Structure 1
């Protein structure tokens, strides 16, 4: 089997220590977590982990099965990139003088649909949302000018196909 990008979605109760146990599942198998995001889900009191890995489907299936064995986990799924709609976000902090002195930076902002979040005397901050490669391209364009700080979010994703998770979770209310 060939390695591919997989997005694993984990719906769980929000309990201390779960992230540590989930990351341990990947550690035991020597599989790197490429991206991780945790947020509330569409169901009250239920969290959603979005984990991105580059591995085989067989390993992904085994990991999802292990994750589902965790007591707090309600359900876990995995999907390929073709089955999901996904984005990442990034912030770039750059010296303010460059905004006015370098037309290439102005062009990069315009062409990449980036947004200036704030401008200060010493620096300005750009926000870029898109696919990983789009953020990487923006980083590559800005790097020669000097990036003061850079941060990227984990992937956020929804599936293209209907997921019955909402129906499954409607019956799950941990505070009932």
Structure 2
């Protein structure tokens, strides 16, 4: 068991009930643990939501957190993984002045080299979307910052495990 802090993704499969997010975040708050990223979405099973929480902790503390999370009535099951055990992505949206797209040839090179895609273009601005690792999004942000970014936002990490988890089978029995 690792005694060094590292990033872990915690996947929590839950019923979708009001107030659960507050109770789960309170578990981290009470222990003074910063949540690096949080994403809540539908899961592969109808009526079951999935929280993907990224934290920087030691493994023994992650196990304790999992135990606390699973005590919540609406929580079906919680798992944790290191980043090398999952396939993950983050998305960033960048709003930039349209004139730069046509007047700064380097902007088109940045878009091409970063594998970003243009989501929309109008007379005032264009919006780029880039999915990838956190470092890739940060690099694109740094490159575009030179020209000026009107608006920027980044999603939380989303992930699936590299190994088969058979969570669908567990959740199917829960749903029946």
Q: Could you say which TM-score interval applies, normalised by the shorter chain?
A: over 0.9
Aligned to 1:125: 127
What is residue 82 of structure 2 aligned with on the other side? Answer: 80
Look up the match of 1:68: 70
TM-score (norm 2): 0.97
Matched, 1:111 2:108: no
2:139 maps to: 137
2:145 aligned with 1:147: no
Structure 2: 5+ residue runs without aligned partners? none
1:53 alignment counterpart: 55
Helix, strand or coil: the match of 1:59? helix
Paired with 1:105 and 1:23, the residues of 2 have a C-alpha distance of: 40
Q: Which runs of 4+ in 1 moved over 6 A?
A: none
Deviation at 1:155, TM superposition (A): 0.8
Aligned-residue CA RMSD (Å): 0.8
Once residues 113 and 121 of structure 1 are traced to their aligned partners in structure 2, the CA distance between those partners, rounded to angstroms, is 23
Counterpart residue number, 2:95: 93
- The CA deviation at 1:56 is 1.0
Counterpart CA distance in 2 for 1:96 and 1:121 is 6
How many residues matched?
174
Structure 1 residue aligned with 2:23: 21
Structure 2 partner of 1:4: 6
Matches of 2:29 and 2:107, distance apart in 1? 40
* Runs (5+) with no aligned partner, structure 1: none
